[in-house]
Amino acid sequence: QVQLVESGGGLVQAGGSLRLSCAASGRVFASHAMGWFRQAPGKEREFVASLNWRGDSTQYADSVKGRFTISRDNARNTVYLQMDSLKPEDTAVYFCAADLKYNGPTYAGSYSSSDYAYWGQGTQVTVSS
């Protein structure tokens, strides 16, 4: 069993920054890919970023590439999402998730939410214009 708890959300002005954290419990964390997704009101949940268990292979949605950075600290069982140059369209509830489908060293996670086995409760990010 893996439990995920996000934190770090809040209200920020456009152009500002936030860093989200996702603390994980369970021994599987360090050996699997992790991802961040977001869901805005009235929209489907969408992929934001993911990385492999070693933290050296990352992938991003085009909408956040160059502005967001995903990273992890396996010693602390935590994955991060640094969000810079925030825009009002980044407003959403952000979720972290664990992809237990594969555990290869280069597997950076799926783009599909249905491939993630465990989810946090989400943290609200609101960007004002």
- pLDDT of residue 85 exceeding 90: yes
For residues 55-67, give the mean pLDDT. 97
Is pLDDT of 16 > 90? yes
How many angstroms from the chain centroid is the CA of residue 52?
A: 12
Cα–Cα distance list, 120 to 62, 70, 103, 117, 129 (Å) = 23, 16, 20, 11, 28
Query: How deeply is 45 buried, as exposed, middle or buried, from its count of CB atoms within 10 A (0-12, 13-18, 19+)?
Result: middle
Q: Looking at residue 27, what is its pLDDT?
A: 67
Q: From CA 110, how far away is CA 126, in angstroms rounded?
A: 26
Question: How confident is the model at residue 26, as a pLDDT?
Answer: 75
> Count of CB atoms within 10 A of residue 57's CB?
15
